[in-house]
Chains A and B, each alone.
Chain A
């Protein structure tokens, strides 16, 4: 394990190395991909990327919660949450790469 954190900059660099566009344009394309995915999810669509995984939006109903510090009851409004289900390929590669 190397315990690093990658960011947009690392993805842009990979695109730059792979495709031979300018660094600037590579960065913009990474942004476009994330934006298109976000927009689809906000529209309530599922985003299914084969051999990567599936992002789905789930609606949760309103419920009563509790402030753990004060014990006070507070209403939790209905909300939409995003869940990610990794593909088997991703699960296998992550499991194999981090073994031992």
Chain B
């Protein structure tokens, strides 16, 4: 499923909405999640999962080709942890 298919689905289920409004709704949701993480906030969507920011401290890495040491700066990376309900649903045996 890609973004446009998701929009399509939501539009089909909500025939009273304009397609462009559905597009804005979907974009707003994803934008809001990125904005929150850019501020260092968490986004917790019970049942689905939680988005958070992890800190990676700086370290001395190595250029794998030359073996030369290089300083890798500290950085912050996005992280997603699957919610319990979704994890369980992925492993339902029916």
Chain B associates with chain A: yes
Contact B29 A14 (CB under 8 A): yes
Query: Which of A3, A30, A55, A94 lies at the interface centre, i.e. has the most chain B CB atoms within 10 A of its CB?
Result: A94
Question: Inside 8 A of A42's CB, which chain B residues have their CB?
Answer: 86, 89-90, 92
Minimum CB–CB distance for B85 against chain A, Å: 8
Closest to A84 in B: B80
Minimum CB–CB distance for B56 against chain A, Å: 10
For chains A and B in complex, what number of residue pairs have CB atoms within 8 angstroms?
A: 159
Question: Inside 8 A of A82's CB, which chain B residues have their CB?
Answer: 49, 82, 86-87, 90
Question: Inside 8 A of B14's CB, which chain A residues have their CB?
Answer: 29, 32
Contact A52 B42 (CB under 8 A): no
Contact A6 B32 (CB under 8 A): yes
Contact B1 A40 (CB under 8 A): yes
Query: How extensive is the interface on chain A, given as a class?
Result: 35 or more
Query: How extensive is the interface on chain B, given as a class?
Result: 35 or more
- Contact indicator per residue, chain A 1-17, by CB within 8 Å of chain B (1) or not (0): 11111111011001100
A80 CB within 8 Å of chain B? yes
A66 CB within 8 Å of chain B? no
Q: Which of B6, B21, B41, B80 contacts A6 (CB 8 A)?
A: B41
Closest to A44 in B: B90
Can you give 6 contacting A-B residue pairs, CB < 8 Å? A6-B43, A6-B44, A11-B29, A14-B28, A36-B10, A84-B49
**Taking beta carbons and an 8 Å cutoff, which residues of B are in contact with A?**
1-3, 6, 9-10, 13-14, 17, 21, 24-26, 28-34, 36-49, 53, 55, 75-78, 80, 82, 86-87, 89-92
**Taking beta carbons and an 8 Å cutoff, which residues of A are in contact with B?**
1-8, 10-11, 14-15, 18-19, 21, 26, 29-30, 32-34, 36-38, 40-42, 45-53, 55, 57, 79-82, 84, 86, 89-91, 93-99
